[in-house]
Amino acid sequence: MTDQHDNPIRQAVADAIANNDVILFMKGTPEAPACGFSARTVGALQALDTRFAAVDILPDPRIREELTALSQWPTIPQLFVGGELVGGCDIVTEMFESGELAELLGADDQAHASEPAVADGAALQIENRLS
């Protein structure tokens, strides 16, 4: 495994996952998704009024490489809650339809209700570091 000290992008991805309760790695942005799978996943989160961080993986191919190396998950989008990979579009959609997603996010929201929205800031930092 690559030493994280020599791999600032992997470290940035790992930090973003650790520091944001709900974080979505996607193609494009929540406002302008660049792929139908990302759009559908954003839609599920927004339907539940979830506050989430979003990282666009498109600006630099290394983001996806490092994300996949960390998560061992081959496709985009990837949703993480509480530092754990929940899944991609298929799983998130299934969990949304069954109510499991609301349960997962609801429990999480209550535990961290007092936390401010650090999400966007951290995501932007990743993008800034890469630009």
Partner 1 sequence: MPDAATIKARIEAAIPGAQAEVEDWTGGGDHFRATVVADAFAGLSRIQQHRLVYEIFGAEIGGPIHALSLKTHQPVRNHP
Chain contacts with partner 1 (rule: CB under 8 A): 37, 64, 68, 72-75, 85-91, 94-95
Q: At its nearest, how many Å lie between partner 1 and the CB of residue 103?
A: 14
Q: At its nearest, how many Å lie between partner 1 and the CB of residue 72?
A: 7
Q: At its nearest, how many Å lie between partner 1 and the CB of residue 91?
A: 5
Give the Cα separation of 104 and 102 in Å (integer).
Answer: 5
Q: Which is nearer to partner 1, 72 or 110 (CB)?
A: 72
Q: Which is nearer to partner 1, 14 or 91 (CB)?
A: 91
SS3 content of the chain, % helix, strand, coil (to 5): 55, 15, 30
Give how far Cα 80 sits from Cα of 2, 3, 13, 54, 89, Å. 22, 23, 11, 10, 12
Q: Which is nearer to partner 1, 97 or 115 (CB)?
A: 97
Residues 116, 19: contact at Cβ < 8 Å?
no
Q: Which is nearer to partner 1, 96 or 122 (CB)?
A: 96
Q: At its nearest, how many Å lie between partner 1 and the CB of residue 82?
A: 14
